[in-house]
Amino acid sequence: MSHRLPPLSALRAFEAAARLGRMTAAADELAVTPGAISRQVRQLEQHLGVALFDGTKARPTLTPAAHVLQPVLTTAFAHIADAVREVSDPSRGPLDVACFSTFTVKWLIPRLFDFQAQHPGIEVRLRTTDAGTGAGRMHGDLAITAEEATGAWDTSKEQRLFPEHLGPVLSPELAQRVALHQSADLADPALAPLRLHTRTRRNAWAMWGAAAGATVPLPAPMQAGPEFEHYYFTLEAAVRGLGIAVAPWHLVMDDVLAGRLVAPLGFVASGYDYVVRRRTSGPLPRLDVFCAWLQAQALANPVPPGPQGPPSG
């Protein structure tokens, strides 16, 4: 190796501070003092001969050099953690489960108490991801993801949880003011400002329209409804009466059954399945138990109401 690398402790301190945005947050994560983080970052800056942070200690900002270094270090430390996990005794330690953030908040966490009650000796550690976990390197012991429904599963590592069904949902109060009797009603330009959008799934309206046999024109930017960073923001906005969201049944069924949302047009299959993918195909009792529990929870999901046609008469 032609270049002498900086101390690993300095790289770890910088990576945590840059990723979290605050020295105090990095100190909490690494179980050291904020002063220790600052000293390690200064040591790294001296080694590299470049500044890594600008601004004040309370609100530091990354320099161009830091923007180059931080994502590389974050990926490298994640790979190191995965390699350590892979060679460690698989029967020890927490079960590392990765899934989409909204799925975690709306479906998995509300049911997780049941697993903990049945299996108090198995710790489940959740990590969220908004990226696919297909052909690339998979982090964690288990990933729950949405994939196009092809029916071609690697049964040694994959199992289907349930098909995804999409439908428009809105608050009961808003439903009293907006007449939705058939899918075509949502193509009305007057409703465009009420259609809620999500940055992580901008094609939700188009997907539902294609599955429901309805054409929902894309509104002009000045006429479009609000767009939110995450799906769970969009769903909460719908609950609060801010507009109409297209949502998967499994993410809103608790709200629909509780009367916080209504789905006047029902739900249609989107052509996607939720899939559980294991990192290894070998026997791992903790993982087997968790996968069996997931399947039982999926089978207990209420059946989504079917699509509603135009009113008769």
pLDDT at 136 over 80: no
- Choose between 235 and 186: higher pLDDT: 235
Task: Determine the topology of domain 8-86 in CATH.
Answer: Arc Repressor Mutant, subunit A (1.10.10)
Which of 138, 140, 146, 216 minimizes the C-alpha distance to 182? 216
Q: Check for a shared fold between 8-86 and 95-161+272-298.
A: no
Question: What are the residues whose beta carbons fall under 8 Å from the beta carbon of 135, sequence distance 6 or more?
Answer: none
* DSSP states of the chain: --SPPPPHHHHHHHHHHHHHS-HHHHHHHHTS-HHHHHHHHHHHHHHHTS--EEE-SSSEEE-HHHHHHHHHHHHHHHHHHHHHHHHS-TTSS-EEEEE-HHHIIIIIHHHHHHHHHH-TT--EEEEE-SS--SSSPPPSSEEEEEEE------TTTEEEEEEEEEEEEB-HHHHHHS---SGGGGG-GGGGGGB-EEGGGTTHHHHHHHHHT---PPPPGGG---EESSHHHHHHHHHTTS-BEEEEHHHHHHHHHTTS-B-TT--EEEEEEEEEEES--S--HHHHHHHHHHHHHHHTSPPPPPPP-PPP-
The answer on pLDDT for 194 being more than 60 is yes
Give Cβ neighbours of residue 133 (< 8 Å, ≥ 6 apart): 98, 139, 143, 145, 277
- Please check the confidence at residue 59 and state whether its pLDDT lies above 60: yes
Mean pLDDT lowest for which of 135-139, 213-217, 287-291? 135-139
pLDDT band at 311 (very low <50, low <70, confident <90, very high): very low
pLDDT at 158 (0 to 100): 83
Span 282-291, pLDDT tens digits:
667 888 899 9
CATH number listed for the domain at residues 95-161+272-298: 3.40.190.10
CB 238, CB 247: distance < 8 Å: yes
**Which position has the higher pLDDT, 83 or 100?**
100
24: nearest Cα among 8, 38, 12: 38
pLDDT digits (tens, 9 = 90+) for 290-309: 999 999 999 999 999 987 64
Lowest-pLDDT choice from 30-39, 152-161, 181-190, 266-275: 152-161
Q: Range with the lowest mean pLDDT among 71-80, 89-98, 199-208? A: 89-98
> What percent of the chain stands above pLDDT 70?
85
The yes-or-no verdict on residue 274 having pLDDT over 90 is: yes
What value does the mean pLDDT take over residues 151-167?
Answer: 82
CATH architecture of 165-270: 3-Layer(aba) Sandwich (3.40)
**What average pLDDT is seen over the chain?**
85
Question: For residue 184, what pLDDT band results from cuts at 50, 70 and 90?
Answer: confident
Residue 245's beta-bridge partner residues?
Answer: 169
The whole-number pLDDT of residue 218 equals 60
Mean pLDDT of 2-20: 89
The whole-number average pLDDT for the span 177-181 is 89
Q: What is the pLDDT of residue 113?
A: 95
Task: Name the residue ranges covered by the structural domains of the chain.
Answer: 8-86, 95-161+272-298, 165-270
